[in-house]
Chain A
Amino acid sequence: MSASGSEVTRMDDDGELQVVLFEIEGVTYGVEVERVLEIIRRPEVSRVPAALDYVEGVINLRGNVLPVFDLRRRFRLGGDPARASHIVVLRVHDALAGVSVDGVSQVVRIPIGRIEPPPPGIAGPQLRYIEGIAKLEAGLCVLLDLDRAFQPAELALGEGGGDRDAG
């Protein structure tokens, strides 16, 4: 837990982290701003049958096939991804991927001191994908560890097994 907290290393000179905030099912999540390439209106997503369960499908991003991930399923949040309004295009493991979000609020600077490891109360599969929790004026924000949350196909298969053990 503290190990994943210490992974927050990229910060600007003032010891702050620039984070893009977005909302899914009423929860505010944040990812480092360098990870975000763009935010687009959510087009029709083509489902890919038989792909990993948290893969919502693929979209056409200017001629490239972009996989779209569903955090709801990854974090077992429930809810319908079709409600999502936007897709955040992110760089994960040097490749591009999209995440469906209900709304994008803003970019904020979070002083490192305000970031804490996930409280022990949080359990379940999402714990390992969380880098930390930040206290903002508007409430709490969950900082995501994208590289852990979404892995290339062959790695993810092994991890799926781990999920089942945990659950």
Chain B
Amino acid sequence: MPVDSGWTLTEDDRQLFITEADEMVQALEEGALALERGNQSPEMLQAMFRAAHTLKGNSGLVGEAGIAEHMHKMEAVLDELRAGRIAVTPALVQQLLSGIDALRDMLAQFAQGQSPSPPVQSPEQPQAAPQAPAPSKPAAPVAPAAPAASAACLSRYLVELSVDAACPMPAVRVFQAYQAISRRGQIERQDPPQESLAQFEGRSATLVVRLERPDDVQAALSGVDEIRVESVREQSMAAASAASQAQANEVEREALAQTVRVRVDLLDHLMNLVGELVLDRTKVADLISRLERAKDEQGEELRQELSRSSLHLGRVTLDLQETIMKARMLPIDHLFRRFPRLVRDLAQRSGKRARLEIYGQDTELDRMVMDELGDPLTHILRNAVDHGIEPPAERLAAGKPEEGRILLRASTEEGYVVVDVADDGDGIDAEAVKRIALKRGVLTPEQAERMSMHEAEELIFAPGFSTSEEVTEISGRGVGLDAVRASLERLSGVVDVATERGKGTTFRLRIPLTLAIMRALLVRTGTAVYALPLGAVRQIVRLGPGNLRSAHGRPLLADRGEMIALHSLAGLYGEPVPDGEQFAVVVGTGDRQIALKVGALLGEQEIVLKSFGDFLGAVPGFTGATILGNGELALVADIRYFLRGREAP
């Protein structure tokens, strides 16, 4: 494709290239892994070829000859594969995967602003870029041939257009292009949308359009100047295999991803504004309840008006809040997609066979939360391959399929995202766990004696515990599941484990959808108001002779046969303990809990978490502060602070 002489690479172009390249790399890797599992559907091979081809073209456009050259080689191999001229062998898959790794490295260099050097190809080393076998036939035409089965009906195509950099009025050209294409086919989606074209100043447009033949696009646009067809990709209708369906989703998501480019700092600012609105709403509600108590006849009209506007404010705020939340959300697939390769590599290195099945990848999660979730999930998956899945021989002996199965599943549950990682391995041997815990000094013999099965299983989260007898490359050096639990707690989430000997182990992670706004229980102790995150609140009890106990001079709360350590909330913060604290709030995560004595319960409320700012930094015991409806400040308690070093009694 000709490049304008005046064309220079802007930061936006670079970003776009990187984002798209990531998608292509992902598509290639998914394809390579599918090939390894014996899936060689023509759709998938076609998709891989297209990904390589597109990336080759894009690399050329941004002036990355090294990447373009690399992609050219990969494309040639895929072309041979697609045409059935070479067979899929483990060596070939490995070659592809190595080529993808090398590509990743080059892209990473590009992203850092360096011009990537092509992979070293010394005679001693295997060539990083896959090579097509010798007598290479001329490459097949790029445009996908429409499958015979769907030739009769209109196929759906993803069309990417670009406007010449020199074009003074891109909006007009894009409008003309839309008009021209709509005469040939049916436009299902367009970005930029036609309504907002007036403000459009970009250089690219994307359409999803139903057409008879892909060539129709080019034909339709023959009369429109300054518009180029960058690509026409078919979106398979009769997606028979899961792989091609995933590919279709990928392409579709790619189209959508271009429509939701919002700067994170802008979103953060919007978040702050929404936070303010939420406060206003609470304030108005507070005002109303005070007015109502006033019982002033003259105020009746005023009250009604206030009530109406309060209702309205409430609706608007809620709407705005949900919209902004959505904008901060990403499908969890952004995180999950890197795991199939991880599991494959881990299994191969440990001489096992394992397959990762992913469900619920469309589940959305705050991107900040998602960033934090990567490491703990990686760790749990490593754990599943390393400790969960048995070696093939052992599995066969146990009557299981040779290939282990690991399930990664995301779902939502009222304000929370639940992620399950389930393996069909050997399960956790509670007795072995106890033995090791004793050896590592995590546990005393007395504790081990009266410990339940589940409590023993939970020991794997204890600091300094790792069930593998020796540190392996796979499970990482000395970092145990305690790190996973700590990460989850940072997110105000929890991780639990369920296991059955011989059947497998499931780790369940429960994470709040977002961190910025949360529900909290407000309590007063002395003159201060504290907010306790509701996710950690287990129950609230009124203290009395019926449930107050003590052991060795330390107060305990008796609750349905359970004894929970009882502390004054003010006391834990080093404040003077006020008299007459009548309530206890039991808070906890996992198997650790503590009862906090407080003076009064002020109710449950949605709060906006605000940091203390640079001056105070991280204050131990608090995650921040929040402003209440009456303008008062409440400090938001960090539950981990209370639970640190306090195990279940």
CA distance A97 to B627 in the complex (A): 17
In chain B, residues 582-641, which have Cβ atoms closer than 8 Å to a Cβ of chain A?
610-622, 624-625, 627, 631-635
CA distance A151 to B613 in the complex (A): 12
Chain A residue at smallest Cβ distance from B631: A60
Query: Hey, which chain A residues are within 8 Å of B627, CB to CB?
Result: 60, 63, 65
Query: Hey, which chain B residues are within 8 Å of A44, CB to CB?
Result: 632
Query: Hey, which chain B residues are within 8 Å of A48, CB to CB?
Result: 612, 616, 619, 622, 625, 635
CB–CB A47/B575 < 8 A: yes
Number of interface residues of A (CB under 8 A): 28
Number of interface residues of B (CB under 8 A): 29
CB–CB B616/A153 < 8 A: yes
> Taking the nearest CB of chain B, how far is it from the CB of A13, in angstroms?
34
CB–CB B615/A152 < 8 A: yes
CB–CB B625/A93 < 8 A: no
CA distance A51 to B615 in the complex (A): 10
Instruction: Indicate whether A154 reaches chain B with its CB closer than 8 angstroms.
Output: yes
Instruction: Indicate whether A52 reaches chain B with its CB closer than 8 angstroms.
Output: yes
CB–CB B614/A152 < 8 A: yes
CA distance A111 to B616 in the complex (A): 35
Query: Hey, which chain A residues are within 8 Å of B614, CB to CB?
Result: 93, 95, 152-153
CA distance A96 to B614 in the complex (A): 9
CB–CB A64/B610 < 8 A: yes
CA distance A93 to B617 in the complex (A): 14
Our count of residue pairs bridging A and B at CB distance below 8 angstroms stands at: 79
Instruction: Please encode chain A, from 147 to 166, with 1 for each CB lying within 8 Å of some chain B CB and 0 for all others.
Output: 00011111000000000000
> Taking the nearest CB of chain B, how far is it from the CB of A161, in angstroms?
16
Instruction: Indicate whether A167 reaches chain B with its CB closer than 8 angstroms.
Output: no
Query: Hey, which chain A residues are within 8 Å of B619, CB to CB?
Result: 48, 50-51
Chain B residue at smallest Cβ distance from A64: B610
Give the residue of A58, A65, A92, A153 whose beta carbon is less than 8 angstroms from that of B617.
Answer: A153
Chain B residue at smallest Cβ distance from A48: B619
Instruction: Indicate whether A126 reaches chain B with its CB closer than 8 angstroms.
Output: no
CA distance A152 to B279 in the complex (A): 27
CA distance A60 to B529 in the complex (A): 14
CA distance A66 to B611 in the complex (A): 10
Give the residue of B529, B575, B613 whose beta carbon is less than 8 angstroms from that of A49.
Answer: B575
CA distance A119 to B575 in the complex (A): 39
CB–CB B621/A49 < 8 A: yes
Query: Hey, which chain B residues are within 8 Å of A60, CB to CB?
Result: 627, 631-633
CA distance A101 to B313 in the complex (A): 38
CB–CB A95/B613 < 8 A: yes
CA distance A164 to B613 in the complex (A): 25
Instruction: Please encode chain B, from 529 to 561, with 1 for each CB lying within 8 Å of some chain A CB and 0 for all others.
Output: 100000000000000000000000000000000
In chain A, residues 5-42, which have Cβ atoms closer than 8 Å to a Cβ of chain B?
none
A-B pairs, 10 with minimum CB distance: A153-B617, A49-B573, A46-B633, A152-B614, A67-B615, A65-B625, A65-B610, A60-B627, A51-B619, A95-B614
Sampled A-B contacts (18; CB under 8 Å) = A46-B528, A46-B625, A49-B573, A49-B621, A50-B573, A50-B619, A58-B616, A58-B625, A58-B635, A60-B633, A63-B276, A65-B613, A65-B633, A66-B613, A95-B613, A151-B615, A152-B614, A153-B615
What would 10 more interface pairs be, CB under 8 Å, given A48-B619, A63-B627, A153-B618?
A44-B632, A46-B529, A50-B619, A58-B625, A60-B627, A63-B275, A65-B612, A67-B616, A150-B615, A152-B617
